[in-house]
Amino acid sequence: MEFSINDTMINLILFGPPGSGKGTQSDFLVEKYNLHHISTGDMFRSEIGGKTELGLLAKSYMNKGELVPDEVTISMLKKRVEDNPGVQGYIFDGFPRTVPQAEALDRMLEEMGQSVNLVELKVGDDELRRRLLERGKTSGRADDTNVDTINNRIQVYKDNTIPVATYYDSHGKAAFVEGEGAIEEVTNRLFNVVDSL
């Protein structure tokens, strides 16, 4: 695997439960820090839209609020990074969601001579349910319209994904931001944290 190495790269994992604002805030971070945005959720949705084999597989997990298997997700992510060398940094939105995904990401960045910092958006469960159901009214996303699916996504986050934050925290590479409040307020909190990294 060939990567171009740039010492000034900023690599961020924007982390948080479903509906915490990862997709929303990624746009502002991308613009301010000139990062390349990689959203595994968007990638899967694009595969579903294209009715590809990967899309059909992903849909069967996503519509139940389950995680797509690590093997599939990691190889898709690696390909996206390989296809976009020489950028100023990456923002990983919705990835990693499991410890094996985190370990795979760290190995890949290490090969590039790079590392990554995790920033977690903290949002309470009631607010997550409210936001996702609200988005479901217009997005048509099957995983945003059913409250049982939303609750399962929140539970999967607690069981499988929170350990990712613990993993980065144990390496001194995690920061936390209050994710409730106006979108602009959250953006400013994130900028302050990223500026201090």
Query: Which tokens go with 4?
Result: 């171009």
Report the site for ligand B4P in 100-159 (rule: CB under 6 A).
Answer: 101, 131, 135, 143, 153
Residue of 64, 80, 129, 135 with catalytic role: 135
Distances 117 to 47, 98, 133 between C-alpha atoms, Å: 28, 16, 30
Residue of 59, 97, 131, 189 with catalytic role: 97
Q: How many CB atoms are closer than 10 A to CB 97?
A: 20
Cβ closest to ligand B4P, residue 40 vs residue 114: 40
- Residue 97 falls in the annotated catalytic set: yes
With CB under 6 A as the contact rule, the residue among 67, 104, 154, 175 that binds ligand B4P is 67
Report the site for ligand B4P in 168-197 (rule: CB under 6 A).
Answer: 183, 186
Report the site for ligand B4P in 7-66 (rule: CB under 6 A).
Answer: 18-24, 40-41, 44, 61-62, 65-66
- Residue 141 falls in the annotated catalytic set: yes
Please spell the DSSP secondary structure of 61-124, one letter per residue.
HHTTTPPPPHHHHHHHHHHHHHTSTT-S-EEEES---SHHHHHHHHHHHHHTT---EEEEEE--
| CA-CA-CA-CA dihedral for 60, 69, 175, 26, to nearest 10 | -50
Residues that bind ligand B4P (CB under 6 A): 18-24, 40-41, 44, 61-62, 65-68, 73, 94-95, 97, 101, 131, 135, 143, 153, 183, 186
